[in-house]
Structure 1
Amino acid sequence: MATKKAPKKTAESSGDYSKYISWFWRLFVGGIALVVLVFLLASWNAFGELPTFEELENPESNLATKIISVDGKQLGTYYNENRTPVKYEQLPQNLVDALVATEDERYYDHSGIDFRGTTRAFAYLGQKGGASTVTQQLAKLLFTGQAARGWKRYAQKIKEYVIATRLERQYTKQEIIAMYLNKQDFLFNAIGVSSAARIYFNKDVEDLELHESAVIVAMLKNPRQYNPYRKISREKSLGRRNQVFKQMEKNGMITTAEKDSLQALPMEVKFTPEGHADGIATYFRENLKKFMASWIKENPKGEDLEGNLTYYNIYRDGLTITTTIDSRMQKIAEDAVAAHMPRLQKEFDRQNEKNKTAPFRDIEEEDVDRIFNNAIKSSSRWRKMKAQGKSEDAIRKSFDIKTDMTIFSWGGEIDTVMTPRDSIRYYKKFLRTGMMSMVPQTGEVRAWVGGNNMTHFQYDHVQLGKRQVGSTFKPFLYATAVDQLKISPCDTLPNTIYCIAAGSHGNTKDWCPENSGGEMGGMITMKKALAESVNTVSARLMDKVGPEPVIDLVSKLGVDTSKIPAVPSIALGTADLSLYEMVSAYGAFANQGVYVKPQIVSTIQDKNGTILYQHVPETRDVLSAESAYVTLQMMEGVTRSGSGSRLRHTWRGKDPVYRKAVTGYPYGFTNAIAGKTGTTQNQSDGWFMGIVPNLVTGVWVGGDDRAVHFPGINYGQGATMALPIWGMYMKDVYENKDLKISKSEFDKPKDLSITIDCDNYKSEGVNDELPDELDF
């Protein structure tokens, strides 16, 4: 009988698992060693360069330069990336809580890597959320860039782990949160949370409420898919915002009742774009670039390792420029322009309906061709096509091909199709404007409006534009006469034709100016002569003082006189000057004869708050206090009885600009105002210069070309074209008491020897009904 063999014993049947246990530990230890090796290799740059200690200490960021108004408001930024960094202390706690609850709820418990979250992500293949901590996301933003694909993504992830742990050793938790929020791109030029708060809610970041902070945190997942401004993503943004509230409830940061009430709130966005052409003071900000370019060139940042000079960059160095612009006054100025110019333009267009050469007048066809040719050659289209190597013939032909374009109108932008040549004619019809307001005692520029719209009219009519100033030049002549001859506003001269002969004062022929209104005869006081812009009196004064002293005076007042000929006709304002020059020169009249150079920047600070520049006023004595005051008294006559009197007096009839019945102009000023209107030949330019004790403001209105003008003086004078802007501006400025614009009388010198009280004026013992005639 055969015997059965006993079954062979195995490890499984004997319960001996030592072999498997051994393999398990080998695999486990090997796995750990492999992970350690991978991280070591990563730290040794095997998967690509890792940031150095210095780079971790100073992570590279493009920081926007902030432009701040004198009243502490941000006017705009210069940037490659519109990033304004904020410190952790500036972040509201509700924003920090919303971020941690939504993006990294164990943020304060890990050292850069959330192993619990990582395990969950592997186990569920990412279906229940990713595992990236806030620190890892910062590492990606700072040093690893956009997500790679394939095996490179795994290498990138490992690098993020290594960088995250290094960041945690280098920075505090609070600093990491601030860096993370400063680095995020929220679209629409909103780089960083500070820009996002301003652009989406028009608030400083520290003023954000919880429901607003939740919208910003919601965008962190995907700023395009969850953007609150884009119509296509608003619903997603709202849903994601409510999810933030749910996460905050889950983590005990808000109660269920608070969550429910917050989720019921509508999502409101106050979109305030910050493009280079958005916001207020756009012309000023463009001009400020020139100031900064000059300052940067003269103030090197330091030297590099090779000894080469390095310079500040306004687009990435995070400077803070505190300007003299007052955001409130700037807004009022822009509103005044926006209120007056469309109505003036409407009347201008009406008067051009039957003008065959519109918008041009009084020129020949060849002059029109010349204007168009100059416009074509100075256009961006011409420059771009020329740079592309296109022939001149091909470029010219392109100006007659219809194309899609967006054009300006006072009612808003219009999408249309027209030829570039037709667009030139279209834009030529628009009247342009410039306005500047300055504190005469300090030179601080408070408002600067360079044109109608920076996007469509990029030429700055404050400083770049130089046009004939007309009768606004006459106060310089009168001031020279007061200074040299001690004339009184009460002195009189004949209002009759007066000729300055050829060969006298540089004249090449006899000069016999007539008054613009044609009225002459009798005697007239100096004050009335200036108020009514009497040219015959200006001729007599010019013959007495000569053009050279007048030119010398305006030169000392900051005017470029290199192109002003020393001839008598300058008395009528034939010189081309900028509004910037005129306002700064007029400022000396209100500052007791002391000229102060206009100031647009108070301080410049680096990103750490260190002051790099502090403005020092540039001043010089030009006129005696007596001469300045007497000239002011004569200019007050302009607003009391002359061409500027509509600022004060009740007037019944049809307003020449608004074409409707009114009872008085809408200004009603009763305080001391010295001013002067100016109108140039053929009504090409309208000016108004207005002075109160602590503010001097100038306004210019005219066409892009001198051939673009009103056909008659009724609409083409400074009192109609420019004065209304000044009036509306000052009326609103006075209504804001915080601005502290003076309504007082001008400061009277203590030792005033020239008589200004014409009612009791006596000269050489004569007490006539009219003051005595001057002896010239």
Structure 2
Amino acid sequence: MLSKLKKSPILKWFLRIFLGLFVLFILFFTSIYLGMWGEIPSKQELSELQQNKATQILSNDGKLIGKFYIFDRQPIQFEDLPKSLIEALIATEDVRFYEHNGIDNRSLARVFFKTILLQDESSGGGSTITLQLAKNIYGRKDYGALGIVVNKFQEGIMAKRIENIYSKEDILTLYFNTVPFSDNTYGIESASMKFFGKHVKDLAVEEAAVLVGMLKASHRYNPRIFPERSRLRRDVVLTQMEKYGYLTEKEKEKYIAKDLVLNYKNYSNKKGLAPYFREQIRKDLSNVLDTIKNKDGENYNIYRDGLIVHTTLDYKLQSVAEASMREHMANLQQQHEDSYGSRAPWLTNDAILKDAIQRSKAYKNLKEDGLSETEIMQELQKKKQMELFEYNGTVTRQASTIDSIKHYLKFLNSGLLSVDPKDGAVKAWVGGVDFRYFQYDHVSQSKRQVGSTFKPIVYTTAIDNGIEPCTYYSGRAVTYKDGWKPTNATSEEEDEDLNYSMKYALSHSMNTIAVKVLLDAGIPNVVEKAHQMGIESDLPEVPSIALGTAELNMKELTQAYTSFVNSGRPSTPYYITKIEDGAGNLLAEFKPSKTKEPAYSEETREIMVNMMQATVDEGTATRLRYTYGLNNDIAGKTGTTQNNKDGWFVGVTPNLVTVTWVGSDDHRIGFRNTRIGQGANSALPIFGKMMQKMNADEYFSSITSARFKQPSSEVAELLDCEPTKEDGFLKKLFGSKKDEPAEIDMDQPVKEEKQKKKKGFFSRLFGGKKKDN
């Protein structure tokens, strides 16, 4: 019988076919092994695995603020992996992980017979953790019809090499550092931080099961999008852990009974905490890293080299600042829109709208494509589904590009900068209301008129030059050369017969007196003092700078105010302390700027702090007391610019200086009236709300409980005078508006009366020195 089979032509043909297929298989495998289908990483290359790693931005207490990455990945060590996470992975993906050498032959046999021959899809796959690691690192290429076979063989070869190079612990670490999750997230640490807001070492068992469950199909089991589906998959993982002895049945049931609770943290450059600050960090890093070389002599890359950037930002304060800004701006925006009604400039001003349209990216693209003006406008008026920003949540609706431009023209914007006055360390940075839709940073990029927040610089110069704080100035408006006549917010009739101390005039932000003080101090002296205090922009030597017509950057204004609580020395804002590589090696370190010389005397500083405290206690910023109930030691200054274009507030406490600004991105659109647009209503509430939240949290006690040092007895005496004083009897009797000059030469100083409340009767009667009003 056997001899007949050997002579059988059918058997001969079968053997020949089998031998031929075997030879073809060997040749095919050899061609893959030799790299003819694509180079396979050598053992040397595999031993030096280097994956793109996200650069981390950390707050001053080490909390993650954000990341820069191509793929969101943060590497970790094996010691950081909780036991339950490893057990969940092995029970679900590769139960014989510790027994095979990269390829699980038993699993492959099961897949061949059950899945392929018997079509039993429940039998599972044959891919091991090591095979998945090879795929995660090098991906798969398209080789046409044979692609899946070629890729599988390549991964098998790599898996064998990986097992020969690395220990099982190393393989698990590499796997968890490279495995992809939902939302463009790579690596278990990034996934843990994104979905649960905690480091992987702190994951609970049921949370670890959620993340492992996502590996089967990262989008399908995304807990953010499909929570119920993700929970069911989590329960499968927990059941597998019980099946293979990692959990008892009681433990499994306990974890299955728990709700799926996320603490989602999106570290997108346009979302999350401090997006404007992070964008500034990105810009600065590009410049800094150009000067630093790695061990290979190449520049570091912020998107792939896993750098660690330590900053001065206070995570909690930044959160409080952003929340305060958003709460207030939502309310102010409604006031703004209601005040204009149907006559809003973003709806009715053709010049503003036309200019906004022509500056839009959509218009410029169509123009470059050669379309005529008529064709461009037709395209821009076409409706489409569009996502639009609103404070109560983004809305999606049918709108044209022109509708969108009108929509965004109506929005006010805001900026906030808080620094430690002792060294300039930035503690909070809010560049706008929402980085996704308004990417212009009003902290670092914007220059606006600063209004009355410039007045303390004027008064500082005057006092430092010997003008006493109890010098009295008439509140009467004066016409200067070229017909310029600054007035106060109150009526001229109410002010004209009174004389005001400098303290009262500053705290009540009297424009008429600010200009007179400027001229007495000398415009060149004020400009010089401003530069000594940290103002870097060029200042026009004109009387209107007393009212803040100069356009300044928020950082330089903040710098100037730090001098009031830093012994007269301005502190330059800084925000990066050091940069490290992924292993913690120091690459660059940054210190506060060297201490500058005092810009003015200690006596002047004490006087100015006292005068700005009066702004809060009895002047234009009193709503901090009666509306927000703040009892903290606060000095400050409100500011409102011409035609209500900008609102400002500077809040000064012993350990924190905060500047807030509110206005429209389009300079031509201001507030409808001063009631809404004044700094006390538009910008001050952001600071007020922020301080309220800080007062409620013991964490901020070093700021909220700080007290200003009491002024010396000499300074107290200099400040000891009545806020207002009427003209003397003879002045009232013989003085007249007719005697007032039509113009005052701005090159000549204004001689004002220096008078204290403790002067004698005849001094009060005759009014002392003659005044030019």
TM-score range, shorter chain: 0.7 to 0.9
Q: Which residue of 2 aligns with 1:661?
A: none
Structure 2 counterpart SS, 1:612 = strand
Structure 1 runs not aligned, ≥5 long: 1-8, 17-24, 305-309, 503-508, 650-664
Q: Which residue of 1 aligns with 2:646?
A: 685
Choose from 663, 680, 699 the match for 1:702. 663
Q: Which residue of 2 aligns with 1:67?
A: 57
CA contact (8 A) 2:472 2:755 kept: no
Give the Cα separation in 2 of the matches to 1:641 and 1:764: 20
Choose from 197, 222, 246 the match for 1:253. 246
Q: Which residue of 2 aligns with 1:631?
A: 608
Structure 2 counterpart SS, 1:59 = coil
CA contact (8 A) 1:320 1:607 kept: yes
Q: Which residue of 1 aligns with 2:233?
A: 240
Q: Which residue of 2 aligns with 1:284?
A: 277
1:153-192 → structure 2 map (5 Å cutoff): 153-192=148-187
Q: Which residue of 1 aligns with 2:590?
A: 615
Q: Which residue of 2 aligns with 1:758?
A: 720
Q: Which residue of 2 aligns with 1:107?
A: 97
Give the Cα separation in 1 of the matches to 2:351 and 2:48: 57
CA contact (8 A) 2:649 2:660 kept: yes
Letter in 2 for 1:587: T
Structure 2 counterpart SS, 1:620 = coil
Give the Cα separation in 1 of the matches to 2:161 and 2:371: 55
Q: Which residue of 2 aligns with 1:263?
A: 256
For normalisation by structure 2, the TM-score amounts to: 0.86
Letter in 2 for 1:193: I
Q: Which residue of 2 aligns with 1:334?
A: 322
Is residue 34 of structure 2 the alignment partner of residue 44 of structure 1? yes
For normalisation by structure 1, the TM-score amounts to: 0.86
Per-residue CA shift, 1:91-114, capped at 9, x if unaligned?
211111111111111212222222
Letter in 1 for 2:248: T
Per-residue CA shift, 1:585-611, capped at 9, x if unaligned?
211111111122111212211122212
Per-residue CA shift, 1:98-133, capped at 9, x if unaligned?
111111112122222222222332333454222221
Letter in 1 for 2:100: H
Give the Cα separation in 2 of the matches to 1:491 and 1:461: 37
Structure 2 counterpart SS, 1:608 = coil
Q: Could you say if the C-alpha distance between residues 556 and 396 of structure 1 is closer, same or farther in structure 2, counting changes exceeding 3 Å?
A: farther
Q: Could you say if the C-alpha distance between residues 488 and 774 of structure 1 is closer, same or farther in structure 2, counting changes exceeding 3 Å?
A: farther
Give the Cα separation in 2 of the matches to 1:30 and 1:405: 62
Q: Which residue of 1 aligns with 2:352?
A: 371
Choose from 498, 505, 510 the match for 1:534. 510
Aligned-residue offset at 1:142: 1.2
Give the Cα separation in 2 of the matches to 1:35 and 1:756: 100
Q: Pairwise CA RMSD of aligned residues?
A: 3.3
Letter in 2 for 1:632: V
Q: Which residue of 2 aligns with 1:202?
A: 197
Q: Could you say if the C-alpha distance between residues 226 and 764 of structure 1 is closer, same or farther in structure 2, counting changes exceeding 3 Å?
A: closer
CA contact (8 A) 2:178 2:187 kept: yes
**Identity fraction in percent:** 36
Aligned-residue offset at 1:71: 2.6
Structure 2 counterpart SS, 1:108 = coil
Choose from 523, 526, 543 the match for 1:550. 526
Q: Could you say if the C-alpha distance between residues 735 and 701 of structure 1 is closer, same or farther in structure 2, counting changes exceeding 3 Å?
A: same
Give the Cα separation in 2 of the matches to 1:459 and 1:736: 32
Is residue 511 of structure 2 the alignment partner of residue 516 of structure 1? no
Letter in 2 for 1:220: L
Choose from 566, 578, 593 the match for 2:553. 578
Structure 1 counterpart SS, 2:596 = strand
Structure 1 counterpart SS, 2:186 = coil
Q: Which residue of 2 aligns with 1:428?
A: 409
Give the Cα separation in 2 of the matches to 1:401 and 1:209: 51
Give the Cα separation in 2 of the matches to 1:61 and 1:670: 53
Q: Which residue of 1 aligns with 2:424?
A: 443
Aligned length in residues: 721
Choose from 621, 626, 646 the match for 2:623. 646
Q: Which residue of 2 aligns with 1:711?
A: 672
Q: Which residue of 1 aligns with 2:10?
A: none
Choose from 55, 58, 65 the match for 2:48. 58
1:563-602 → structure 2 map (5 Å cutoff): 564-602=539-577
Is residue 120 of structure 2 the alignment partner of residue 120 of structure 1? no
Of Structure 1 and Structure 2, the greater helix share is in 2
Q: Which residue of 2 aligns with 1:741?
A: 703
Give the Cα separation in 1 of the matches to 2:756 and 2:619: 29
Give the Cα separation in 2 of the matches to 1:482 and 1:55: 71
Give the Cα separation in 1 of the matches to 2:293 and 2:606: 44
Structure 1 counterpart SS, 2:357 = helix
Per-residue CA shift, 1:361-396, capped at 9, x if unaligned?
xxxx8xx34322332233221344355555555334
Give the Cα separation in 1 of the matches to 2:770 and 2:86: 82
CA contact (8 A) 1:444 1:598 kept: yes
Q: Which residue of 2 aligns with 1:505?
A: none
Q: Could you say if the C-alpha distance between residues 370 and 314 of structure 1 is closer, same or farther in structure 2, counting changes exceeding 3 Å?
A: farther
Aligned-residue offset at 1:757: 4.4
Per-residue CA shift, 1:256-305, capped at 9, x if unaligned?
2212222333333333333222212112222222212222233344666x
Q: Could you say if the C-alpha distance between residues 153 and 764 of structure 1 is closer, same or farther in structure 2, counting changes exceeding 3 Å?
A: closer
Is residue 540 of structure 2 the alignment partner of residue 560 of structure 1? no
Structure 1 counterpart SS, 2:473 = strand
Structure 1 counterpart SS, 2:637 = strand
Structure 2 counterpart SS, 1:492 = strand
Structure 1 counterpart SS, 2:442 = coil
CA contact (8 A) 2:345 2:352 kept: no
Aligned-residue offset at 1:322: 1.6
Aligned-residue offset at 1:188: 1.2
Give the Cα separation in 1 of the matches to 2:271 and 2:34: 47
Structure 2 runs not aligned, ≥5 long: 7-14, 724-753
Task: Pick which of 632-641 and 487-496 moved more.
Answer: 487-496
Structure 2 counterpart SS, 1:298 = coil
Give the Cα separation in 2 of the matches to 1:746 and 1:470: 26
